[in-house]
Amino acid sequence: MKFIDEATIQVRAGDGGDGCVSFRREKFIPRGGPDGGDGGRGGSVYLEATEGLNTLADFRHTRRFVAAAGEAGKGRQMSGRGGADLMVRVPVGTLVTAEETGECLGDLIRAEQRLLVARGGRGGLGNCHFKRATNRAPRRATAGTPGEHLALRLELKVLADVGLLGMPNAGKSTLLRAISAARPRVADYPFTTLYPNLGVVRVEPTRSFVVADIPGLIRGAAQGAGLGTRFLKHLARTRLLLHVVDMARIRQDVDSAEDVRVLEQELDRFSGELARRERWLVLNKLDQIPAAEHQSLQQRMLQRLGWDRPVFGISAKTGEGCEFLCRRIMAFLQTRSADSAAEEVPR
């Protein structure tokens, strides 16, 4: 299924039921008082984050969601039945924004998390509420209030611990296939990945992390060039970025250091916070280079960059270096989780 990461929908809560005007009429009770019941409340609309959904494609065809209205009140002080709430299922990681105002209404980042987006109308009051000493037969009841309605923009940002970024054909999809059970499309031409792919990397039976393969980026991505900002945003939730570089291009005298700098600039233009995220360099396609040249090419690359962060040499095709890389990632993520937990402990 094609990855759909944005959608606009209309939601409308149910109207409240009207109050009832009624009078008690029973044999041998000539002056029965008012007994009109209240109207039922209208149903509300909720969004619920659901595991197993990874796309907003369902909203391409169904864009309007309406909750049930409340029933009108009845005689004998019987209230009308309330309208059923409407639960709209969305993928985990969905950001909800009001289309008209741009206000962020919520971010659904946990399974079964619910967000009230449109509140149902209140039921009207029956005439039994308006009985007074000076008005013992009120013929007044109030109408139910309308339910809220608004347009919502849904935006899906994938939830992953690690994000793969790099120029087209750097080998990101091949790396994802090598370290997880995911099977993204792999081919020898640019932009074979047209939407994010997720894979779970299981280092040990009880230790794993999620990797997102982001479509290849090019110069001007932050302004929308290529696949642009549509997918840069999916890196926002990651804790670690792996910058995958094609080592074979270095051997062909292509300035891969410039490729790295270009993507650094695009990250900074898109989000300064994202540019400061922990980022490691992964030199891929070692299988295409004689072993004797590995060290010299790597040193040439790092000197041009002035790189002082972790560097890993791998071959995603043969699996060389992939296990070591995954274990280092797992150790990093566990350290970060422990640090975050320590920061949350009240002092």
Q: Is 313 annotated as a binding residue?
A: no
Count the Cβ atoms, other than its own, within 10 Å of residue 46.
18
* DSSP per-residue letters across 147-179: PPEEEEEEEE----SEEEE-STTSSHHHHHHHH
Contact 248, 211 (CB under 8 A): no
Q: Is 169 annotated as a binding residue?
A: yes
Q: How far apart are CA 186 and CA 169, in angstroms?
A: 9
- DSSP single-letter state for residue 303: H
Q: Is 240 annotated as a binding residue?
A: no
Q: Is 61 exposed, middle or buried (0-12, 13-18, 19+ CB in 10 A)?
A: exposed
Q: Is 58 annotated as a binding residue?
A: no
Q: Is 315 annotated as a binding residue?
A: yes
Q: Is 116 annotated as a binding residue?
A: no
Integer angstrom CA distances of residue 302 from 63, 270, 291, 294, 308:
50, 25, 18, 12, 8
Q: Is 285 annotated as a binding residue?
A: yes
Q: Is 207 exposed, middle or buried (0-12, 13-18, 19+ CB in 10 A)?
A: middle
Q: Which of 155, 333, 163 is nearest to 235 (CA)?
A: 163
Q: How far apart are CA 85 and CA 63, in angstroms?
A: 17
Count the Cβ atoms, other than its own, within 10 Å of residue 301.
20
Q: Is 286 annotated as a binding residue?
A: yes
Q: Is 284 annotated as a binding residue?
A: yes
Q: In the structure encoding, which two tokens stand for residue 92, read together?
A: 């985990």
Q: How far apart are CA 201 and CA 328, in angstroms?
A: 12
Q: Is 310 annotated as a binding residue?
A: no
Q: Is 287 annotated as a binding residue?
A: yes
SS3 286: helix
Contact 169, 216 (CB under 8 A): yes
Q: Is 214 annotated as a binding residue?
A: yes
Q: Is 127 annotated as a binding residue?
A: no
Annotated binding site for GTP: 166-173, 191-195, 213-216, 284-287, 315-317
Annotated binding site for Mg(2+): 173, 193
Annotated binding site: 166-173, 191-195, 213-216, 284-287, 315-317
